[in-house]
Structure 1
Amino acid sequence: MATEYGHGYGSWDGSGAVRERRHRLPAGLRAPFEARSWREFAYVLLSLPIGTLMFVYAVTMVSLGAGLLITFLGVPVLAGALAGARGLGAMERARARGLLGMEVASPEPLRMKRSGPMAWMGALLRSGTSWRHMLYAMVQFPWAVFSFVVAVNLWVCGWAMLTYPLWFWVFPMWVGQDGIQLYGDESHHVYLDNPFEITVTALVGLLFTMATPWIVRALTMVDRVMVRGLLGPSLLATRVVELESDRGVVVDTAAADLRRIERDLHDGAQARLVALAMDLGLAKEKLAEDPRAAARMVDEAHGEVKTALQELRDLARGIHPAVLTDRGLDAALSAVASRCTVPVQVEVDLPAARPAPAIEGIAYFTVCELLQNVSKHSRATRATVDVWKVDDRLMLQVVDNGVGGADVSAGSGLAGLTERLGAVDGILVVDSPVAGPTRVTAELPWRRA
C-alpha cells in the first residue's frame, strides 16, 4: 500500500501558494444576508403549520386507538397511526435536508418474521423507531410555537427598527403623531421623532438584525437534535451497521494478507527452493564425473539457501515480527526506522503494561505503512515517530518534512489504513498541506491483553 504525495489539497496556483476562499465581510455582518440564514428562518416558519398538523394527527390517532383498544379495532388504528408517523418522519427528514443541509439516514426498516397484515401491525407496534416518530410529532409542536414566536418577532423588530429612518414619515403624515410612541398618558408623551432618536433606533435595529440569524441558528440546533435523535436510526442499529461494516473490512483485510503471503511464497521462497532442488540434483549427477563442477554447484546452492532463508525471515517479519512479540513497540519501531531510507527519530512513551497483541500489531503495521509512504513519495529529508498513551487510547504520530499533499479521499493506501483502524474503533487524521509538512496521527483503543 502506498500513497502518492503532492495532490489533492487546496488549490495550487503555480506560484507555490494555496488559494483559499476568503470572505471580505466578517460573519456577523454577512449573516443576515446569507442564504443559509434565510433557509433556517424558512424552516422555523414552516415548523409551525407542519408541527400543528403533526400534533393534531398524533393526538387524534393515539387517542382514538387507545380508546378503541377495548375492542380489536384499536390495534389496526394504532398500527396505522404509527405507519403515518413514519411517513411524516420521512417528510421531516427531507425538509431538514433541504433547508438545514442536514443528512439523516433513514431508520431501520420493519422486521417481520412472516408476511401478512397481522405481522405488519405487530412489527409496527413493536418497533421503537415507529414510537419515536410518534413522539417527535407530539414534542415538535410546542417547540415550533416557541421558535416561531421568537424568530418572527426578532426578524420583524430588527428590520423594522433598522429601516425606521426610511419610513418614520408615515406617522406625522398618516397617523397624526410625531413617530413611534414609547410612552404616553394623559399629560405626557414620548415619541421617537428627532434625528438622534431615529439614529439610535436604527442602530438598535442593526444589533437585532445581526443577532437574529445566530439566535435562529441556535433554535434550529434543537430541531437538529430532535430530528437526528427521534427520526434517524437508533444508536443500537447504527452500532450494528458499523460492526457489520468493520467485520467486512477485517475479513477483506485478512483475505488480502493471505493472498499476499501466498504470492510471496509462490514467487519468492518456493520458486527459489525449487531451483535449489534442481541445482542439487544436477550437482549429484556430476559428483562422480566432475567433482569440481559439482562442488561449484553446491557452493552456489548454499548461497541460494541463504537467500531463501532471508526471504522467509522477511516474510515472517511481515506477518508478525518476533521483536514485536518479544520486546514490544519500542524495539519493533526502532528496527523499522533503521531500515527506512530517511533518517527517522523514534520516541515511545508507553507504560510497562502492554496493549493487546492485535492493537500492537495494527500500530506497528500502521507505522510501517506510513514510513513506506515517506520513503517512496514524500521526498522528505527527515521524519519522526511518536507513540504515547492518553487515558485509554494508544496514540501514534508520524511527521515528515516532505512535499505534502497526501489525501485520504484519493482511494490510496491511507484510505486502507483508515478502514483498518476503523475496524477496531480507531481513527486516522491526516494533515498534509501542499509543500508540507505531513502529519499523520492515529488513535487506537488501549485494550489489555
Structure 2
Amino acid sequence: MDTAYAPRPRAPRVPVGLRAPFSGRTWREFLYLCLSLPMSVLMFTYAVAVIGLGAGLLVTFLGVPVLAGGLAGSRGLGAVERARARGLLGLDVADPEPVRPSKAGLMGWIGSVLKSGVSWRHLLYSLLHFPWAVFSFVLSLTFWTVGWTLLAYPLYRWIFPAYLGQPGIQLWGDGSGNGVYLDTPAETGFAAGAGLLLVLAGPWLIHGLTQVDRIMVRGLLGPSPLATRVTQLETDRGVVVDTAAADLRRIERDLHDGAQARLVSLAMDLGLAREKLAEDPQAAAKMVDEAHGEVKIALQELRDLARGIHPAILTDRGLGPALSALAARCTVPVEVTVDLDRRPAAAIEGTAYFTASELLQNVSKHARATGATLDVWCAADRLMVLVSDDGRGGARADEGTGLGGLAERLAAVDGLLVIESPVGGPTAITAELPWRG
C-alpha cells in the first residue's frame, strides 16, 4: 500500500505550561517589567519637577507656560511608553487626539494644552506608574531569578565546596561557621523542585503584572472614550454621506437610462402618430396602441424605482408585509417569519428592509440555492434579521464586496453583520440593528 500521501502522525505537542518559561512572550514581558523601573523613575522625576516648578512660578506669569511645556513633554514620554508597550507587550494603543489650539499664537497653544484632558492623564500616568513599576520590578525579578537559580542548582553546586569553602547554598548562619546548607542529594533535589515550581509559575505572574500595565497604558495614555466615539461617528457619517451619494447616482442613472429614455421615445412616437392621424388613421391608431404599452412599461419602471427608494407598503403596513412582498419577488423560494410586537424607528425599519433586500438579491444571484429563510425578531432591544440558504456558501465580507459595503452601512447606525458561510454551505447571515423604537 502506497502511503506517500497519507497524513503523518503529529508529534505530541509540549503542554503550554512547560513551554511558557521559554516562550518569547514571557521574556518580552519580563524585559518590559525590567525597563519599567528606569522609565518610571525618569517620568516620575520629570512629573514632580514640572509640577513643583510650575506651581512655584505661578505667582509670576512664567508658571503657566512652564506648566504647559511640562504637559507637552509628558505627552512625548507617553508616546515612548506606547511604543514600548507596542513592541514588548503587543499592545496597540492609538495615539490620542493632538492638541488643537483654540486660537492662533503661543497663548492659544498654551491654553489648549492646559485644557487638554489627555495632557493631564499623561502626567497622572507618570505619577501613578512609579510605585507600581517598583513593585512589579522587584517581585518579577526576585521570583524569576530565584526560580532559575534553584532549578539550575544541581548543575553548579560543585562550585561551593571547590571555590567558596562551604558545602552548598547557605540558608542560615551565625557568622561563626555554624549554619544550614543545601548540600545533601535530597536537599539539592528539593531545591531544584522548588525552583521548577517557581519557573513554571513565573510566566503567569509576569503576565498578570503586565496586565496592570496594559490597563494603565490603555486608560491613561490612549485616546479618551469620548474622542474615540467622536472619531467613529465622523467615520460613520462619511459612510452615510457616501452611501447617500451612491444612491442618488443610482437613482439618476436608473431614471436617465430607464423611464426617462422610455418617455422620450414615447413622446416621439406620439408626435409621429399625430402627424399620421390625418393621412393614415389606422397606422396612427397602431402607433398610439404601442405608445400605450410603453406608458405601462414606464409606469412599472417608476414603481420599481420608487419601491427601491422606500416602498409604500413598508410605511403603511410595516416590516412583515413588506418583507413578504420582497420575498415573493425573489427567484428562490423564501420562507418569511417576522416576530415583532411593535415597530422600530422608521430609519431602522428602512435599514432592515434594504438589508434583507440586498441579502436576498445575493441569494438569487450567487448562492445557487434551492431555498432560503428570512427571520426577523427583537432580542434585548436589538432588531435581528437572519437570512439563510442552502446554497454553495463561501460568502465573505472582504473590502470592495457587496457584503463589505453592507457591513459598513450597518456600522454607521451602530449595527453589526455576522457571516457564517463555509465553503459548500449552508450560509447564515445575521444583521443586528439597534431598536430605537
Are residue 262 (structure 1) and residue 252 (structure 2) matched?
yes
SS at match of 2:432: strand
In 1: Cα distance, 2:11 partner to 2:397 partner: 25
- Number of the residue aligned with 1:6: none
SS at match of 1:436: coil
AA in 2 matched with 1:314:
D
Q: 1:227 aligns with which of 204, 217, 228?
A: 217
In 1: Cα distance, 2:181 partner to 2:376 partner: 70
Any conservation in 1 of the 2:102–2:109 contact (CA below 8 Å)?
no
SS at match of 1:389: strand
Q: TM-score, normalised by structure 2?
A: 0.90
AA in 2 matched with 1:253:
T
For residues 406-446 of structure 1, the C-alpha deviation after alignment (integer angstroms, 9 at most, x for no partner) is 33233211221122111111122223333333332222111
Alignment of 1:41-440 (within 5 A): 41-180=30-169, 192-195=182-185, 197-351=187-341, 353-440=342-429
Q: How far has the Cα of 1:175 moved from its partner?
A: 4.4
Q: How far has the Cα of 1:360 moved from its partner?
A: 0.7
AA in 2 matched with 1:160:
T
Identify which of structures 1 and 2 has the higher relative contact order when contacts are C-alpha pairs closer than 8 Å and 6+ apart. 1
In 1: Cα distance, 2:335 partner to 2:147 partner: 60
Q: How far has the Cα of 1:190 moved from its partner?
A: 6.2
Q: How far has the Cα of 1:180 moved from its partner?
A: 4.3
In 1: Cα distance, 2:15 partner to 2:420 partner: 26
In 2: Cα distance, 1:443 partner to 1:431 partner: 14
Q: How far has the Cα of 1:198 moved from its partner?
A: 4.1
SS at match of 2:207: helix
In 1: Cα distance, 2:196 partner to 2:333 partner: 59
AA in 1 matched with 2:418:
V
In 2: Cα distance, 1:57 partner to 1:89 partner: 12
- Number of the residue aligned with 1:7: none
Residue identity (%):
69
Unmatched 5+ stretches in structure 2: none
For residues 241-270 of structure 1, the C-alpha deviation after alignment (integer angstroms, 9 at most, x for no partner) is 222222211111111111111111111111
In 1: Cα distance, 2:193 partner to 2:395 partner: 49
In 2: Cα distance, 1:433 partner to 1:175 partner: 68
- Number of the residue aligned with 1:11: none
- Number of the residue aligned with 1:445: 434
In 2: Cα distance, 1:434 partner to 1:200 partner: 56
In 2: Cα distance, 1:434 partner to 1:22 partner: 29
In 2: Cα distance, 1:437 partner to 1:172 partner: 73
SS at match of 1:287: helix
For residues 80-101 of structure 1, the C-alpha deviation after alignment (integer angstroms, 9 at most, x for no partner) is 2111111111111111121122
In 2: Cα distance, 1:178 partner to 1:324 partner: 90
Name which of structure 1's ranges 383-392 and 169-178 shifts more when overlaid on structure 2.
169-178
Name which of structure 1's ranges 429-438 and 139-148 shifts more when overlaid on structure 2.
429-438
AA in 2 matched with 1:270:
Q
Q: How many residues align?
A: 428
In 2: Cα distance, 1:278 partner to 1:338 partner: 36
In 1: Cα distance, 2:418 partner to 2:146 partner: 46
Cα distance change of structure 1 residues 165 and 336 upon mapping to structure 2, 3 Å threshold: farther
AA in 1 matched with 2:44:
F
Q: How far has the Cα of 1:200 moved from its partner?
A: 4.7
AA in 1 matched with 2:89:
L
In 2: Cα distance, 1:151 partner to 1:247 partner: 47
Cα distance change of structure 1 residues 48 and 367 upon mapping to structure 2, 3 Å threshold: same
AA in 2 matched with 1:221:
Q
Q: How far has the Cα of 1:193 moved from its partner?
A: 4.7
Any conservation in 1 of the 2:125–2:216 contact (CA below 8 Å)?
yes
For residues 314-342 of structure 1, the C-alpha deviation after alignment (integer angstroms, 9 at most, x for no partner) is 11111111221122222222222222223
Cα distance change of structure 1 residues 290 and 387 upon mapping to structure 2, 3 Å threshold: same
In 1: Cα distance, 2:288 partner to 2:150 partner: 101
In 2: Cα distance, 1:305 partner to 1:411 partner: 38
Name which of structure 1's ranges 138-147 and 403-412 shifts more when overlaid on structure 2.
403-412
In 1: Cα distance, 2:430 partner to 2:206 partner: 37
Any conservation in 1 of the 2:44–2:126 contact (CA below 8 Å)?
yes
Name which of structure 1's ranges 163-172 and 29-38 shifts more when overlaid on structure 2.
163-172
In 2: Cα distance, 1:24 partner to 1:399 partner: 39
Cα distance change of structure 1 residues 23 and 300 upon mapping to structure 2, 3 Å threshold: farther
AA in 1 matched with 2:246:
A
